[in-house]
Amino acid sequence: MRDRAELVIIGGGIVGLSLAYQLARMGMTDVVVLEQGYLCFGASGRNGGGVRQQWSTEENILLAKQSVRMFRQLSREIGHNIWFRQGGYLFLARNAETAAALEKTVKLQNRMGVGTRIISPAAAARLVAGLHTEGIEACSYNSSDGVLFPWPAVWGMASVARQLGVQINTHTRVTGIDVKGREVVKVVTDRGAVATRRVVNAAGAWSWQIARMAGVELPNKPYRHEILVTEPLKPFLEPMLSDLSNGMYFSQTMRGEILGGISDPDEPSSMETGSSFRFLARMCSSMIRLLPRLSRVKILRQWAGYYDETPDGQPILGRVEPLDGFIQLNGFGGHGFMLAPAIGKIAAEWILRKVDHRIFHTYALSRFKHGETRKENFVIG
C-alpha cells in the first residue's frame, strides 16, 4: 500500500469508486481507495438496482437526470455490462393525501424536464398485467426510470480506475485519522498509514464512525433494510412497482426473478444484517396484494444491507468545519447508487478543477445547525 497520496477515499462502494473513476479520467491518479471488505461488501452490493428520477426535491431530480444519462453509456465506458433496462417506475398512492403529494412532485419533475405523468389505476393495470388496483387512488409513471445490476457497475469503475493508476485496497480497515490543527495529515489503517492532506469520507453506513475519528460529528445513522429474490418467472413486469402506503418496491430482473424490499418504520438504528421473518411476512403479503399471481412463487433468498440515513433524508456533501481537506460524500439513505454517477463527476470537478455546484451548499453539514433542511419525501424500501 502506498504510504502517501494526494487524495484518500475511505469507502470502496459505488460513491467512492465513482469519484475515483471520474478523477482518474480527468487526470488525477495519485488516489488511494480504502475498502474494509471486498468490492460490493456494503450497500452497493446489496441493493435492488433501481434508478429513478421521481423525487420531491430539485437537487435530487437534477442529480438523477444526470445519472440516468450517464448510466446509459456506462457499460461501454467501463467494459462491464450493467444490464441497465429502462422499463419505468410506477408509484401507487392509496389515499387522497398521498395522491396530492404525488401530483405535486410530478409537477415539479415536469418543470425540470422529467417526463413523469399521473395516470389512472386503470391505465396502471394496462401497464402491468394482473395488477390489483382496488384501493389505489392515483399513480405516477415515468418510462425512462429503470433498473440495473449493481455489481458490474462497481467492478467496472474499479477496473478502469485501477488501469489509470488509482490504488484500490480491499480488506483494509481504517483505524484512525490524524489531524493537525485544521488539517488532516494521515489516515491510519490496519495495514499501515497513508500521509495525505485530503480525505473523502464515502464510507456509507460507517461514515459517522469515520468522521468521529477526525473529530467530526455527523447525524447519520445506519438502518437495516432487507430484500428478497424469487425464483425466475416468464418476463411479464416492465416497470418497477412501488406502493407508497408502506414503501414496498419490486421489479423483475432480466432473468425473470422478482426482486424487492419494503420499509419498516419500527426498525431501530443498528449495524444488524441478519434476515427476519417479520420482513418476509410483510413483503410477501404486500406483493400478493398488488399481484395475486405471485401467491405461489417460491422465495429463493433474502438478505439485508444498510441505509445511511440523515434526519432530512438528504446526503451530506462537501467540507466540514473546522477541518480543511476532510470531504463528506455520505448520508444517501437508499439512493446513493442511483445518484452516484452524477455525484462522482460533480465532486471530481469540484476537487480537481474547483468547479462549484449548488449541492455543496444545499447539502452541507452546517444546514442542520442553521435549520436549513428540506426533507426528501420519496424515500422507499
Burial of 70 per CB tally in 10 Å (0-12, 13-18, 19+): middle
- CATH code of the domain in which 205 resides: 3.50.50.60
Residue 381 has a pLDDT of 84
What span, in angstroms and rounded, lies between the C-alpha atoms of 305 and 272?
Answer: 9
- Cα-Cα-Cα-Cα dihedral sign, residues 359, 363, 366, 367: positive
Residues 45, 26: Cα–Cα separation, whole Å:
26
DSSP state of 110: H
Using CA atoms, how far apart are residues 297 and 275, in angstroms rounded to an integer?
A: 19
Express each pLDDT in 186-237 by its tens digit. Answer: 999 999 999 999 999 999 999 999 999 999 999 999 999 999 999 999 999 9
Q: Which grid cell sits at 40?
A: 460490493
Are residue 201 and residue 328 in the same domain, yes or no?
Answer: yes
> Do 342 and 298 have their domain in common?
no
The predicted structure's pLDDT at residue 205: 97
Reported as a pLDDT band with limits 50, 70 and 90, residue 69 is very high
Q: What is the DSSP letter of 36?
A: S
- Is 302 among the domain residues? yes
Q: Are residues 230 and 364 in the same domain?
A: no
Q: Which of 309, 328, 362 is the last residue of a domain?
A: 309
* φ, ψ at 337 (rounded to 5°): -65, -45
Distance CA 238, CA 89 (A): 9
In a domain, 231, yes or no: yes
Mark whether 238 and 288 lie in a shared domain: yes
Tell me, yes or no, whether 30 lies in a domain: yes
For residues 148 and 76, give the distance between their C-alpha atoms in angstroms, rounded to a whole number.
14
Which domain covers residue 14, as residue numbers? 7-46+151-220+312-370
Same domain membership, residue 294 and residue 229: yes
Both 250 and 194 in one domain: the answer is no
* Domain total of the chain: 2
Query: What DSSP designation does 294 have?
Result: G
**74 lies in a domain?**
no
Per-residue confidence at 84, pLDDT binned at 50, 70, 90?
very high
User: Phi/psi zone of residue 47: left (φ > 0), alpha (ψ -120 to 50 degrees), beta?
Assistant: beta
The CATH number for 268's domain is: 3.30.9.10
Rounded Cα gap, residues 116 and 87, in angstroms:
13
- Check: pTM over 0.95? Answer yes or no: yes
Q: Which residue, chain included where needed, has cell 434476515?
A: 275
Q: For residue 256, tell me if it sits in a domain.
A: yes
**245 and 131, same structural domain?**
yes
Residue among 77, 52, 91 nearest 164 (CA): 77
Question: 62 lies in a domain?
Answer: no
Secondary structure element (H or E) that encloses residue 92, with its range: strand 89-93
- Kind and range of the H or E run holding 134: none
* 198 backbone φψ class: left, alpha, beta (φ>0; ψ -120 to 50): beta
378 pLDDT exceeds 90?
A: no
Count of CB atoms situated within 10 Å of the CB of 171: 12
Task: Indicate whether 377 pLDDT > 90.
Answer: no
Are 135 and 176 within one domain?
no
> Distance between CA atoms of 95 and 296, rounded to whole angstroms?
29
- For residues 92 and 213, state if they share a domain: no
Q: pLDDT-based confidence at 17, cuts 50/70/90? A: very high
Which strand ranges, in their side-by-side order, compose the sheet holding 167-169?
A: 167-169, 31-34, 7-10, 199-201, 326-330, 316-319
Has residue 345 been placed in a domain? Answer: yes
Domain boundary among 309, 331, 361: 309
In a domain, 66, yes or no: no
Cβ neighbors of 356 (< 8 A, separation 6 or more) are 350
Going by C-alpha positions, the residue among 189, 86, 199 that lies closest to residue 144 is: 86
| Cell triple for 108 | 415539479
Does residue 156 share a domain with residue 215? yes
> pLDDT per residue over 235-270, tens digit each?
999 999 999 999 999 999 999 999 999 999 999 999
189 beta partners: 174, 192
For residue range 340-352, list pLDDT tens digits in order: 999 999 999 999 9
Asked if residue 258 and residue 305 are part of one domain, the reply reads: yes
Return all residues near 220 (Cβ < 8 A) that are at least 6 apart.
207, 208, 308, 309, 310, 316, 330, 331
pLDDT of residue 327 exceeding 90: yes
Please indicate, yes or no, whether residues 288 and 250 belong to a single structural domain of this protein.
Answer: yes
Residue type, 74: L
Nearest alpha-carbon partner for 227 in 304, 139, 169? 304
